[in-house]
Amino acid sequence: MDILSHRDSFLASADDKNPEVRWKTADLLYSNFKNIEKGERKKLLNKFLNDSHPGVRMKALEIADKNFSEIDENLGEKIINRALRDDYFNVRKKALVLVDNNFKRYDIDFLRELLNGVENDTSSSVKSAFIELLANNFNDFSNIFDVEILLEKFCDDHALDVKIAAAELIVRHYDKLKTGNRESLVRKLVSKKQPQIAEKLIKIKNKLPYSLQKVFREKKQEKPRKQPRKEITFQDYAPEDSTSELEIDADFARDISSRDPEIQFMTPPEFVDVINNAKIPGDVKRRLIILAREDKELRSEIIDALSSETPFTSVLKKLSRDDFPYARRHLSRMVNENFYLIPLELAKNLLKNFANDPDPEVRKNSGECIIKNFNSVSASLQEELFGKLAEDGDEQVRTYIHRFINRNFNKILKNLNCDALLNLAKKYPKKYTCDLIKLKFRDLSKQKKQEIIKVLADSKTTEREVAADIISENFDSIPDKFREEILMELVDDSESTVRKHAIDALCSNFEVTKTYSGISEKLFVSWLGGMVVSRQSDNRSRAAYVIAKNWDVILNEFKDDFEKLSHDMSPVVRNDVVKAMSEYSNSLTVNTQNEIIQKLAADKNSSTRGNAARLIAKNYKNISQKTRECLNALLEDRDPDVRGKAAGAVATYYKNLPWKICEKLNNLAADTNPGVRKRLGTALGWNEKNLPKNLIKNFPEEIQKIAEKARREEDTRDSTADMEEGGMKIKLFRR
């Protein structure tokens, strides 16, 4: 909102009946304070400081804190004076932060008068902020207050956060305190038997006298004893008038729900103050009982004392169906944290209510509650609620629950058998199912692994695909016999997608299997046969690679298949046959090589002919004269791409070739196609040491420059460039 162009509407919104609108107006003032005329911004700031809603007053203090240098001194003093006497504890706390941030602006007398009595504040948060103010300005406050008397008072405070703040101050300024007093303060804090305080004081242990160090050690080793619970009844916190159906004050309810995290948590004395306030409606008081979450001791006392009371049970049930979503959210968190203190049947019913709640945040909390209180929730209820949440209509809830299940997979697996787990997995889309099953698979026992794979392999198409994927990723950790049994079923599956996943599993681990290692001949034949006749060209390419690698041990029928693949209808497959032969040429017989290379050299696909040229050059000494003559034809091929690859092959395998073949490079160096000249120059740069100088010196200057550039880039060139210039990167297992 542009305040300057919408001045009237901006000023009008400052008087709006809705506190949320007023808060947003104050937020605009916060962002645009310097752009508003001084008189108007002073008037608005005063208005917000005296607002009936504490959230607006808090925002006004933030405005003052950010722009304190722009505010005149008198107004600044009035702001702090007013805020320190506010009814709302967080406003008072914020006022102390404001004083801390602008401490040097005030003289000693003003601070003495301003802060007089703050140590007696009813809020522990305010007292903690006051202690932090003392710690940050210790030397100055030593001239205003008797700090050690204040510390003695704080060390006796009933609130844990006040004692912790006092301990932090003592640790920070231990050397500035009087010797006798500081030891007395430490002794008093150690005697509280609270480990949180001991953790702070341990930093100064070496500075303490031996007698106190000994006490400190003894107290630190003691287990804190559980304090006897006070007798608290429901009537103590919910007076008789609270049982009547009173209309909830909207502003107050909104205040509870819209507070920042710091404000959401109430300390015991503040909690009691609110409960004893006759102006607050009974329903709100009951809600506050649920929301009092910061102090564990108080929370446990309330829940423990009230759990057997019928009014409390009815309050929980009523709140779980409350029209106010923030109340249900806080209730779900409270149940999460105090599940073991609530009657089990009631807690289970509340969980069901949360899982069916219209608010997605409440439904998320129900999933978290199940995980956090896993041992208290039966397996059947887990399966029911997780299954429901996994199918939730809100995508965020589904994703949240899915992640929660993933992070706690091992816990879930202990309670749910594999059938129940599979039923739960079916609630997710396919990719989520894979994630759910595979995420922690390696952490499971062998028996549980086999159980899960068996259940998946006997299920529907998607689950069988997942079974193949799991075997692929955990090939070595699955027993050979069991793996063989499952893969035999999946390789011959009626569904082509399942067969593909099974083939992928074996291809991905082909280096592991080597020559039948890890799989039987029966499975090998079934797997390879499926790839040879597959409709997918990438599977047929894989078959060519596997056949070439295992030429000495495979059946003759597969050798015939290799010859068929060399004139496959797909140029990609034919090209991959060349690559396979290049990689495993030593495994193939001479006759097979001659026959297939001659066909490939005459192939319609230029890429296949180009790669055939490299294959001939590499194996020139081991092939027949008829096959060698194919290289001459390829060097004069009509396609410049073929001529370029052939030139690169000759330059790379010069030592295998006769001089009359190498002399043809002179003709290619003067080729009319620039692509051919570039390939030759690049190959020359990479293989200059292999070529005779009397051949190189006759090449044109253009070729020499290309070769020089190739030499500079040689260290950084990748395998893809290597293939383009005559190298043959084998890329068989395409996914």
Average pLDDT over residues 210-220: 56
Residue 227 domain-assigned (yes or no): no
Number of domains in the chain: 3
In the listed set 221, 248, 280, which residue is the last one of a domain according to the structure?
A: 221
Reading the block at residue 713, the tokens are 């880039």
Among left, alpha and beta (phi > 0; psi -120 to 50; other), residue 518 is: left
271 and 216 fall within a common domain: no
- The backbone region for 224, taken as left when phi is positive above 0, alpha when psi lies in -120 to 50, beta otherwise, is beta
The answer on 160 and 43 residing in a single domain is yes
Specify the amino acid at residue 499.
Answer: R
- What is the number of other CB atoms lying within 10 angstroms of the CB of residue 53? 21
Residues 92 and 212 in one domain: yes
Confidence of residue 660 (pLDDT cuts 50, 70, 90): confident
Confidence of residue 245 (pLDDT cuts 50, 70, 90): very low
- Whether residue 212 is found in the same domain as residue 115: yes
The pLDDT value given to residue 490: 81
Nearest to 381 by CA among 410, 342, 425, 420: 420
Assess whether 121 and 12 both reside in one domain. Answer: yes
Look at 246-255, 310-319, 390-399 and tell me which has the smallest mean pLDDT: 246-255
pLDDT at 512 over 80: no
202: pLDDT strictly greater than 60: yes
In the DSSP assignment, the letter for residue 619 is: T
Residue 293 belongs to a domain:
yes
Residue 106 has pLDDT above 50, yes or no: yes
Contact criterion met (CB below 8 Å) for 210 and 198: no
- Please identify, among 190, 221, 252, the residue that sits at the C-terminal boundary of a domain: 221
Check whether 631 has a pLDDT greater than 50: yes
User: Two tokens at 675?
Assistant: 């692509």
- Pair (24, 149) in one structural domain: yes
Mean pLDDT, rounded, of the chain: 69
CA distances (Å), origin 137, targets 117, 140, 154, 196, 623: 18, 6, 17, 24, 92
- Model pLDDT, residue 608: 80
102 and 202 fall within a common domain? yes
Q: Which of the residue ranges 207-216, 442-451, 641-650 would you say has the lowest mean pLDDT?
A: 207-216
Any domain includes 430? no
Query: Same domain for 146 and 12?
Result: yes
Confidence category of residue 37, pLDDT binned at 50, 70, 90 = confident
- Alpha-carbon distance 645 to 676, whole Å? 8
Residue position matching structure tokens 């007696």: 120
First to last CA, the chain: 52
The DSSP line for 604-655 is: S-HHHHHHHHHHHHHTGGGS-HHHHHHHHHHHT-SSHHHHHHHHHHHHHTGG
For residues 70 and 212, membership in a common domain is answered with: yes
pLDDT value of residue 519: 65
CATH number at residue 188: 1.25.10.10
Q: Which domain holds residue 696?
A: 633-724
Spatial distance between the Cα atoms of 268 and 161, rounded to a whole number of angstroms? 11
pLDDT at 729: 33
Q: Which helix (H) or strand (E) holds 718?
A: none
Q: Give the Cα separation of 540 and 530 in Å (integer).
A: 9
Show the CA angle centred on residue 546, arms to residues 602 and 555, nearest 5°: 95
- Residue 219 is predicted with a pLDDT of 45
Least confident range from 54-63, 224-233, 305-314: namely 224-233
- pLDDT band at 688; cut points 50, 70, 90: low
The 10s digit of each residue's pLDDT in 77-92 is 788 888 888 888 888 8
The model's pLDDT over 38-79, given as tens digits with 9 standing for 90+, comes to 788 888 888 888 888 877 888 888 888 888 777 777 777 788
Q: Is the pLDDT of residue 633 over 60?
A: yes
Asked, for residue 612, whether it belongs to a domain, the answer is no
Eight-state DSSP code of residue 229? P
Shared domain check, 298 and 370: yes
Q: Is residue 177 part of a domain?
A: yes
Q: Which range, of 67-71, 232-236, 278-282, 576-580, averages the lowest pLDDT?
A: 232-236
Same domain, 114 and 202: yes
Residue with more model confidence, 33 or 379: 33
Angstrom distance (rounded) from CA 688 to CA 703: 12
Residue 276 lies in a domain: yes
Q: SS3 for 412-445, per residue? A: HHHHCCHHHHHHHHCCCCHHHHHHHHHCCHHHCC
Whether the pLDDT of residue 96 is over 80: the answer is: yes
* Rg of the chain (C-alpha set): 40
Residue 446 lies in a domain: no
The pLDDT of residue 186: 80
Residue 168 has pLDDT above 80, yes or no: yes
pLDDT at 656 over 80: no
**Which are the contacts of 139, defined by CB distance < 8 A and separation ≥ 6?**
176
* More confident call, 669 vs 221: 669
Residue 724's pLDDT is what? Answer: 41
In this prediction, residue 423 has a pLDDT band, given cuts at 50, 70 and 90, of low
Give percent above pLDDT 70 in the chain.
Answer: 65
In-domain check, residue 59: yes
Q: SS in 3 state form for 133-159? A: HHHHCHHHHCCCCCHHHHHHHHHCCCC
| Spatial separation of the C-alpha atoms in residues 284 and 238, rounded to whole Å | 10
pLDDT higher for 405 or 636? 636
Q: 290 and 207, same structural domain? A: no
Kindly state the average pLDDT of the residues 436-461.
70
Q: What is the mean pLDDT of residues 635-646?
A: 82
**Model confidence pLDDT, tens digit, residues 514-523:** 444 456 667 7
DSSP class of residue 296 equals H
Q: What is the pLDDT of residue 66?
A: 82
Average pLDDT over residues 331-352: 76
Q: Residue 437: what pLDDT?
A: 63
User: Pick from 492, 564, 494: which is nearest to 523 by CA?
Assistant: 492
From 188, 221, 254, the end of a domain falls on 221
